[in-house]
C-alpha cells in the first residue's frame, strides 16, 4: 500500500507555490477549514475562512494572499497565485484513483484479437470485442464493454459499466464516468411519404395533409471520433453518425446525462454541463460553454466561444462569442431586459387600460 | 414458493381498515374495477368507479366512503379513511419483490475484505470492492458494482447495474433503481488564467479578453453521504464532492435521470422528480418538492418546503415555503399573471399602436 | 467472414431504384461525396453536392433527379424518388450489425426455466431470470439483464447493459440501445395526511397548513407492455405501472435519456426525441412527435398527431393535430407571435412611458 501522506513541501512543489513555516510537516488529506483535523491541510484561500481556521484543528493551510499564518496559529502555510487553479494540482496529487487490480481480471472476456497496451489494468467482468486496440496505462473498471473495432489511446480511465460502441475512435487521456454510452445508434427515422413533421418544419406550424404512416429506421453506419483529453459524464449518451462519425474535439468535457445526437460535431475545449442535449447534425465551435439543461436544435451552428446560461434553448445559428440565455435563446442582456419588462407587464397593462 | 393470495381480512389488517362482508374471501392481486377478474381486489376508492365495478368481475373491492357494497354486487368490501395512503400499504403487501436467490451468487466477485451482513442476497455478476460494508437483509441484483470503502446500512435494495462509488456512505432502507450512479466524479474544471465564463459571471454578459486556454480537472476527493430511507431513480447520477461529501438527507426520494452536482446538499424528505438537475454546491432544504425537469443553478440555496412546478428553472436563492414556476422561476401566482398578460400582449400592442 | 461489398445493381434492387451505367460495379461502403474513396458510393441526393463529387474519388453515386452522371465523371448512378427514404434501405443493407457470437455465451447466466427461441444469440455476462420467454432470431449483447417472467418477441436486438424488468411484455422487432431501463419502479409516494403538494395543486399556489411528514412508497405492481417494432434509446428509463402496465404502442420510437413515468400510455408510431420526460399517468395519442427536451405534465392527455417543438412543456390537455411550442406550451404560431412581441416589449414600454 502506498503512503498516503504528503509533506507541505511536496504539495507546494506540485502546485508551483510558495511555502512559509515548516515545509516538512506531513498531512494526510485536505479539508474545509472548520472541519479540518490536525493531520489535514485546510483550504482557506479567502479571508472569509479565518474564523473557520480557528474552529478547526489544522496546523497547515493554503492561505489567501497576505494572510498572517502565524497569527492564525498555523505551523505552515502555502500561498498560491490563483487559488481555483491550485485546486486542480492539489486534488490531482491527493486523488487515490479507483481500485483496479494490476493486470487483467480472470473474469473478464477479452477477444483474442484485441490488442491491450502495457500496464493497462482491466477489472472484473469487462467484455472487449474483436480487433479492439487499447493503449498503455489504461484503467478499465468492472462491467465495462468495448465493442469490435474500437481504438482507445493511452492513459484511459473507463469507469464502471461504461459502453464503448463498435468502431469508436478515442484519443489519449480519455475519461468515461460510470454508465456513459459512446456509440448508441442515431435517432433517425423516415416515412415512405412526406410526414407531418416535414410539413410543420416547412410551413412553421401547418401539418399539411400527411398520410398516417409508420417510421422506418435509418441505420447508423458512422461511428464516433473523440480527440485527446476528453471526459464524458455518467449516463451520458453519444450517438453514432449516419455516414460520417459524430465527433468531439480535443479537451472537451461533457458532464452527466448529456445527449449528443448523430452527426453532431463539437470542437475543442468545450464545457457541456449536466443534461444538455444537442440534436442531430448540429456543429458546435471551440471553447463553447453550455450550462446545465441547455438544448441545441438540429442542423444549426453554434460559433466559437459562445457561452450559454442555464437551460438556454438555442433554436437558430449563434455567432461566435455570443453570450446567450433564455427559451428561445437571446443575448443575455436582451433576456435580462425582457424579464424585467415581463415582471412589470401585468401592472403596466392594467394601468394603461385604466388610462383609456 | 410462497402463497401469493391474501384474505380480505389480512389486507384490511395491513391497511388498518374496516371490512364489511366476507373477510375470509381470498384474492390474488389488485386491479382497476373494469378490468378486475373474480379473484382480484377492485380498487374503487371513488364513486366514479361504480360503473367500472359493474363491468368487471370483482367480488371484493376497496370502496369509497358510504358505498353500498351489497348493491354493487360484491361479497366483501374494505373501507379506508385516506385512499391514496391505503395504496402504499396495499402495494407493499402485494409486491412480490425482485427475484434474487438466497445467498451470494457464485458468479459474483466479492473482495475478501468486504463485510456482508446476515440474510443479504447477492445476485449474479455483482462486483464488491475492498473494505465495503453492507448491512443485513440487503438484496443486490445482477451486475451491480459497489466500490472500495463504501458502507451501506440494513435492508438495502440495489437493482440491476446500479453503481455505488468509492467511500460512499449510505444509511438503512436504501433503494437504488437500475443504472443509478452514486459517486461519479464532479464536473469541475479550471483554466490557468481567468476564463471567459468567469468574466461573464462577474459582468453578467461580457466575455472580457480571456485567453484561449484548455481546462484542467479538479479531482473529487470527497464522496457521497446518503441518509436513511432514501431512494434513487433509474439512470440518475450523483457526483462526489470536491473536498467534503455531496449529501442527501433522510427520507429524500429521487426519480429517474436526475443529476446532482458535486457538493450539493439536499435535506430530508424531499421529492426530486424525473430529469431534475441541481448544479454544483447548491443547498436544498427539507421537504422541498421539485416537479419533473426543474433546474437549480450552482451555489444557491432553496429553502425548506419550497414547491417548484414542472420545468421551473431556479437561478437565485428561494426563501422557505415559496411556490415557484417558470423560467426563470418566479412565484407561481406571478407566473400565472405574467402568462395571462403574455397571451394578450400581441393584440394589446397592436391596439395601442392603432390608438396612437 | 461475409463479403462486405455490394454491386450497384444489388443496392438499387434493395432500394427499388433505377440504375444508369455499370450496375456490376462493386462498392464497399457509403460516404459523403467530397470524402468518398474509389470503392465508396457517394450520397449526392441534391445538386449542391456536385462540387463535392468532383473533390472526392467516387465512381458511383446516388444522385438527384435529372443529374448527368456521365458529365460528373461517374461510372454508375442510382436514382431514387424520395432520397431521405432511400437512406433507410441503403443503411439497412450496409449495417454489419453488432458482433455477437452464435449461440449462448458460456459466461451468461440463464435460468433453466427460461425459454429461448431458435437462432437467438446471447453474448457474454448476460443474466436471464426464471420463466423468461424470448422469441427467435434475437441478438442480446453483453451485460444485459432480463428479469423474471418477462416475454420478448422475435428478432429483438438488445444492446449492452440494457435492463428488462420483471414481467415486462414486449412484441416483435424490438430494439433497446445500451443502458436502457424498462421496468424501473414508479415514482409514487404518499404522506399519511394531506401534503403541501396536494394543497398547492388544489389551490394553485397555496401550501396550506400541511404537517411536516415523511413519504411512504406506493409499490409498482404493474409492469410495462410494449408493442411490435418499438425502439428505446440509450439510458432511457420506463417505469412500471402501479396497478395496470405502463404501455407503449406499435411502431413508437424513443430516443436517448427519455423518462416515461408510471401508468403512462403512449400510442402507435410516435417519435419521442432525446431527454423528453412524460410524467405519471399521462396518455399520448398516435403519431405524436415530441422534439428534444419536451415535458408532459402528469395525468393529462396529448391527442393524436400532436407535434411539439424543442423543449415544449405541455401542462394541459392538447387536442389532436395541434402544433405546440413554448413553456408553457401554446400553438406554435401563438408562440412565434408572443416572442416577436416580447422582443419589442422593453422599447415599447419605454416609448409609452415617454408619451405619458
Instruction: Establish whether B262 is a catalytic residue.
Output: yes
Cα separation, A277 vs A292, whole angstroms: 9
Cell of B317: 436563492
**Rounded to whole angstroms, what are the CA distances from C147 to B121, B137, B160, C181?**
16, 21, 9, 11
In this structure, how many other beta carbons lie within 10 angstroms of the beta carbon of residue B303?
17
Query: What pLDDT, in 10s, does the model give residues A247-274?
Result: 999 999 999 999 999 999 999 999 999 9
Name which of C275, A176, C220, A280 is nearest B276 in CA terms: C275
Q: What is the per-residue pLDDT for B194?
A: 85
**Residue A235 contacts C, CB cutoff 8 Å:** yes
The nearest alpha carbon in chain A to B313 belongs to A311
Contacts of A289 in chain B (CB under 8 A): 196-197
Contacts of A31 in chain B (CB under 8 A): 243-244
Q: Nearest C-alpha of chain A: how many angstroms from B193?
A: 8
CATH superfamily of A109-177: Hexapeptide repeat proteins (2.160.10.10)
CB C140 within 8 A of CB C123: yes
Q: CB A269 to CB B214 under 8 A?
A: yes
Q: What is the per-residue pLDDT for B199?
A: 84
Omega before C328 within 30 of 0, i.e. cis: yes
3-state secondary structure of A238: strand
All chains having 3 or more CB pairs closer than 8 angstroms to chain B: A, C
Cell of A333: 442582456
pLDDT above 50 for A1: no
Q: Is residue B76 within a helix (H) or strand (E), and if so which, with residue range?
A: strand B76-79
Query: What pLDDT, in 10s, does the model give residues C94-127?
Result: 999 999 999 999 999 999 999 999 999 999 999 9
Q: CB A178 to CB B191 under 8 A?
A: no
Query: What pLDDT, in 10s, does the model give residues A60-78?
Result: 999 998 999 999 999 999 9
Name which of A84, C29, C175 is nearest B216 in CA terms: A84
CB B231 within 8 A of CB B248: no
Question: For the domain C6-94, what is the CATH code?
Answer: 3.40.1390.10
Question: For the domain A180-185+220-356, what is the CATH code?
Answer: 2.160.10.10
Task: Mark the ranges of chain B whose per-residue pLDDT is less than 70.
Answer: 1-3, 355-356
Angle at C343 between CA C337 and CA C346, to 5 degrees: 130
Q: Suggest the residue from C148, C160, C163, C299 to mutate for an interface test with chain B (most B CBs closer than 10 A).
A: C163
Q: What is the per-residue pLDDT for A3?
A: 64
Q: CB C274 to CB A277 under 8 A?
A: yes
**Residue C1 contacts B, CB cutoff 8 Å:** no
Q: Is residue C176 within a helix (H) or strand (E), and if so which, with residue range?
A: strand C175-176
Q: The complex's ipTM? A: 0.96
Q: CB A220 to CB C91 under 8 A?
A: yes
Q: CB A261 to CB C251 under 8 A?
A: no
Q: CB A184 to CB C177 under 8 A?
A: yes
Name which of B292, B314, B291 is nearest B303 in CA terms: B314
CB C168 within 8 A of CB C226: yes
Q: What is the per-residue pLDDT for C3?
A: 64
Length of chain A: 356
Q: Which of A29, A179, A289 is closest, CB to CB, to B181? A: A179
Q: What is the per-residue pLDDT for A199?
A: 84
Q: Is residue C353 within a helix (H) or strand (E), and if so which, with residue range?
A: helix C332-355
Q: CB A125 to CB B125 under 8 A?
A: yes
Query: What pLDDT, in 10s, does the model give residues A336-355?
Result: 999 999 999 999 888 887 76
Phi-psi region of A87 (alpha: psi -120 to 50; beta: other; left: phi over 0): alpha
Percent of chain A with pLDDT over 90: 88
Cα separation, C300 vs C261, whole angstroms: 12
**What count of Cα atoms within 13 Å lies in the side-chain half-sphere of residue A324?**
31
Q: CB A177 to CB B185 under 8 A?
A: yes
Q: CB A235 to CB C179 under 8 A?
A: yes
3-state secondary structure of B318: strand
Do domains A6-94 and A109-177 share one topology? The answer is no
Q: Nearest C-alpha of chain B: how many angstroms from A325?
A: 10
A198 CB-contact burial (10 Å; exposed 0-12 / middle 13-18 / buried 19+): middle
CB B85 within 8 A of CB B79: no
Query: What pLDDT, in 10s, does the model give residues B142-182?
Result: 999 999 999 999 999 999 999 999 999 999 999 999 999 99
Q: What is the per-residue pLDDT for C7?
A: 96
**Residue C341 contacts A, CB cutoff 8 Å:** no
- Beta carbon pairs, A and B, within 8 Å: 209
Contacts of C62 (CB under 8 A, 6+ apart): C17, C41, C42, C43, C44, C45, C77, C78, C79, C80, C83, C86, C90
The nearest alpha carbon in chain A to C325 belongs to A205
Q: Suggest the residue from B274, B343, B351 to mutate for an interface test with chain C (most C CBs closer than 10 A).
A: B274
Phi-psi region of A4 (alpha: psi -120 to 50; beta: other; left: phi over 0): alpha
**Rounded to whole angstroms, what are the CA distances from C75 to A86, B3, B236, C27, C248?**
62, 73, 53, 12, 47
Cell of B33: 374495477
Query: Whole-number mean pLDDT of chain A?
Result: 95
Contacts of B235 in chain A (CB under 8 A): 179, 235, 257
CB B284 within 8 A of CB B278: yes
Contacts of B251 in chain C (CB under 8 A): 214-215
Cα separation, A141 vs C29, whole angstroms: 35
Phi-psi region of A97 (alpha: psi -120 to 50; beta: other; left: phi over 0): left
Contacts of A344 in chain C (CB under 8 A): 349
Q: Nearest C-alpha of chain B: how many angstroms from C111?
A: 11
Task: Mark the ranges of chain C whose per-residue pLDDT is less than 70.
Answer: 1-3, 355-356
pTM (2 decimals)?
A: 0.97
Q: Which of B43, B251, B291 is closest, CB to CB, to C215? A: B251
Cα separation, C249 vs C256, whole angstroms: 18
**Rounded to whole angstroms, what are the CA distances from B81 to B15, B16, B25, C196, C209?**
10, 9, 22, 19, 20
Query: What pLDDT, in 10s, does the model give residues C8-41?
Result: 999 999 999 999 999 999 999 999 999 999 999 9
Q: Where are the domains of chain B?
A: 6-94, 109-177, 180-185+220-356
Q: What is the per-residue pLDDT for A182?
A: 98
Amino acid at each position: 500500500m502506498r503512503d498516503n501522506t504528503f509533506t507541505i513541501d511536496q504539495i507546494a512543489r506540485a502546485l508551483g507555490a510558495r511555502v512559509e513555516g515548516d515545509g516538512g510537516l506531513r498531512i494526510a488529506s485536505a479539508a474545509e477549514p472548520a472541519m479540518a483535523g490536525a493531520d489535514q491541510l485546510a483550504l482557506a484561500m479567502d479571508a472569509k475562512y479565518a474564523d473557520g481556521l480557528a474552529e478547526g484543528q489544522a496546523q497547515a493551510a493554503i492561505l489567501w494572499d497576505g494572510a498572517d499564518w502565524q497569527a492564525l496559529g498555523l505551523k505552515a502555510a502555502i500561498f498560491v497565485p490563483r487559488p481555483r487553479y491550485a485546486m486542480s494540482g492539489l486534488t490531482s496529487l491527493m486523488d487515490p484513483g479507483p481500485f483496479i487490480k494490476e493486470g487483467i481480471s480472470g473474469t473478464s472476456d477479452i477477444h483474442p484479437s484485441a490488442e491491450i497496451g502495457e500496464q493497462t489494468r482491466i477489472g472484473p467482468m469487462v467484455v472487449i470485442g474483436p480487433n479492439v486496440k487499447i493503449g498503455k496505462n489504461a484503467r478499465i473498471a468492472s462491467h465495462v464493454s468495448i465493442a469490435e473495432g474500437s481504438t482507445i489511446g493511452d492513459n484511459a480511465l473507463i469507469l464502471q459499466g461504461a459502453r464503448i460502441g463498435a468502431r469508436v475512435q478515442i484519443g489519449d487521456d480519455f475519461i468515461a464516468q460510470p454508465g456513459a454510452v459512446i456509440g448508441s445508434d442515431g435517432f433517425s427515422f423516415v416515412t415512405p411519404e412526406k410526414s407531418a413533421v416535414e410539413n410543420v418544419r416547412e410551413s412553421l406550424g401547418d401539418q399539411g395533409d400527411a398520410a398516417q404512416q409508420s417510421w422506418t429506421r435509418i441505420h447508423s453506419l458512422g461511428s464516433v471520433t473523440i480527440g485527446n483529453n476528453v471526459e464524458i459524464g455518467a449516463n451520458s449518451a453519444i450517438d453514432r453518425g449516419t455516414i460520417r462519425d459524430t465527433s468531439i474535439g480535443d479537451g472537451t468535457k461533457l458532464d452527466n446525462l448529456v445527449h449528443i445526437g448523430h452527426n453532431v460535431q463539437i470542437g475543442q475545449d468545450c464545457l457541456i454541463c449536466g443534461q444538455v442535449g444537442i440534436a442531430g447534425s448540429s456543429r458546435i465551435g471551440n471553447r463553447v460553454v453550455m450550462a446545465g439543461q441547455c438544448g441545441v436544435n438540429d442542423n444549426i451552428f453554434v460559433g466559437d466561444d459562445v457561452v450559454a446560461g442555464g437551460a438556454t434553448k438555442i433554436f437558430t445559428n449563434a455567432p461566435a462569442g455570443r453570450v446567450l440565455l433564455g427559451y428561445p435563446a437571446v443575448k443575455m442582456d436582451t433576456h435580462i431586459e425582457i424579464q424585467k419588462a415581463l415582471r412589470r407587464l401585468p401592472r403596466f397593462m392594467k394601468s394603461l387600460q385604466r388610462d383609456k
